Structure 1
Amino acid sequence: MSVHGRRVPAGRAGRLRLRRSLAGALRGADLLERKARLLLDRECAERRAAEEAGLVWRNRLAEADSWLVRGVMLGGERALAEAVPAGRASIEVRWDALMGVRHPAAMAWTGPVRSPTEPTPPNTALAHAETAYRAAVSAAAEHARHQAATDLLAAEAERTRQRVRALRRHWIPRLRSELTAVELALEEAEHEEAVRRGWAAARRAG
């Protein structure tokens, strides 16, 4: 008899090994189910946060687009080109881990800084547009962070559920079946031994 590719000794030693394997598999399934629940709880929280951040992003983007149209109508496309700072935005992401799953946990966004020599937006509408676009980019980055965390946690939760299903549907039933077979064989062997001892005792008494 073999378990997971390993030969299981017959008799009481085999029974002991199978009992230990079964107990370990049951504990493992329980721990994996707990892990899956924790991952799913965090996934749901991140998914809700992603939906909220996405709504904020779209609203701020619409506001920024509205100010941009007004600014271009007032100053033309040349004014828009002059209003764009030369610097670049930067994003710093802090990663965290839950049950071994690394995911983005926080985000720090820094907008481009306009140097003292650069021109400022030539009209109020473009100034409002710049502020609104900065807010929209920050909201977009926050939305992306929550969505990435959602995807990573969901993927690991699904892998964990698959492992639980493999244990509950295949590995644990197989161990129980093999353990039952070993215990039946031991009972039969013990019964036969008792019968032989009874016959031997009867012969000696006769």
Structure 2
Amino acid sequence: MRLRVPPGRAGRLWLRRRRDVLQHGLAVLDRKLRILRQERDRLALHATRTGREWEAACRTADDWSLRAALLGGRRAIRLADDGRLGEVRVDWIDAMGTSYPGRAFFQAPEEPDPSTSLPLTAALVPARDACRTALRAAVEHAAAKEAERIVSAEEEATSRRIRALRDHILPRIEAALTEVELSLDEMERADGARVRRAIASRASRPREQ
């Protein structure tokens, strides 16, 4: 797309302002990119840690679920499910205009009244607790992975914007500015030559008596 530059000196001023604004914008984007990279690295480490914790919690939950099934049968596990649901809350944070999950919290259902029901096997209680721990770890890991994905995507988008501005838009503005300045310099030299010729012509005329 060709730049629509105003003619004459107004065009030079217009291009200089566009160049200054663009260079300032590039500086801001460079700073944003550095912050996003640092945050992405931190989130990647956090996602790796929460992933290991989730896998470990799942193994523990599987072990206890297997014990409960062996001791009380699958029927005991089905009866232990009273249909109540837990709650998940996600706190969002912002870095350089990018929102992503910060902390995620899993709230397990309230404990039932122990006087109203007794577990069919002693393994059900630790199995239930292990499953809740696995759910909590899963929620934290899901939030960490989503945060890493969002920040990584914003980092890539920012990199593309910087490349487009630095490799395409800025060179076009600088080339147009160079062209305008050369044209103005040529016009000024031509004007100066005309002024000198006019002065010389006047000086060479004979004075009236």
TM above 0.5, one fold? Answer: yes
| Cα distance in 2, alignment partners of residues 131 and 151 from structure 1 | 30
Query: 1:122 — aligned with what?
Result: 120
CA shift for structure 1 position 192: 0.9
Distance 1:118 1:46, change over 3 A: farther
Q: How many residues of Structure 1 are paired with residues of Structure 2 in the alignment?
A: 203
Distance 1:62 1:144, change over 3 A: same
Alignment match of 2:194 (pick from 190, 193, 196) = 196
The answer to whether the 8 A contact 2:88-2:105 is kept is yes
The answer to whether the 8 A contact 1:86-1:112 is kept is no
| Cα distance in 2, alignment partners of residues 85 and 39 from structure 1 | 44
Q: Report % sequence identity.
A: 37
2:38 is aligned with 1:41: yes
Q: Which runs of 5+ in 1 are unaligned?
A: none
Deviations 1:46-66 (A, max 9, x none): 111111101100101101111
Q: Which runs of 5+ in 2 are unaligned?
A: 205-209
Partner SS state of residue 83, structure 2:
coil
CA shift for structure 1 position 83: 2.3
Query: 1:66 — aligned with what?
Result: 63
2:111 is aligned with 1:90: no
CA shift for structure 1 position 77: 1.5
Greater displacement, 63-72 / 173-182 = 63-72
2:53 is aligned with 1:56: yes
Query: 1:111 — aligned with what?
Result: 108
Query: 1:19 — aligned with what?
Result: 16
Q: Which has more radius of gyration? A: 2
CA shift for structure 1 position 84: 2.6
The answer to whether the 8 A contact 1:42-1:153 is kept is yes
Q: Which runs of 4+ in 1 moved over 4 A?
A: none
| Cα distance in 2, alignment partners of residues 120 and 33 from structure 1 | 62
Partner SS state of residue 123, structure 2:
helix
Distance 1:65 1:123, change over 3 A: same
| Cα distance in 2, alignment partners of residues 10 and 72 from structure 1 | 84
Partner SS state of residue 124, structure 1:
coil
Greater displacement, 115-124 / 98-107 = 115-124
Q: What code does the residue aligned with 1:55 have? A: R
Greater displacement, 111-120 / 77-86 = 111-120
Query: 2:76 — aligned with what?
Result: 79
Q: What code does the residue aligned with 1:75 have? A: G
The answer to whether the 8 A contact 2:105-2:139 is kept is no
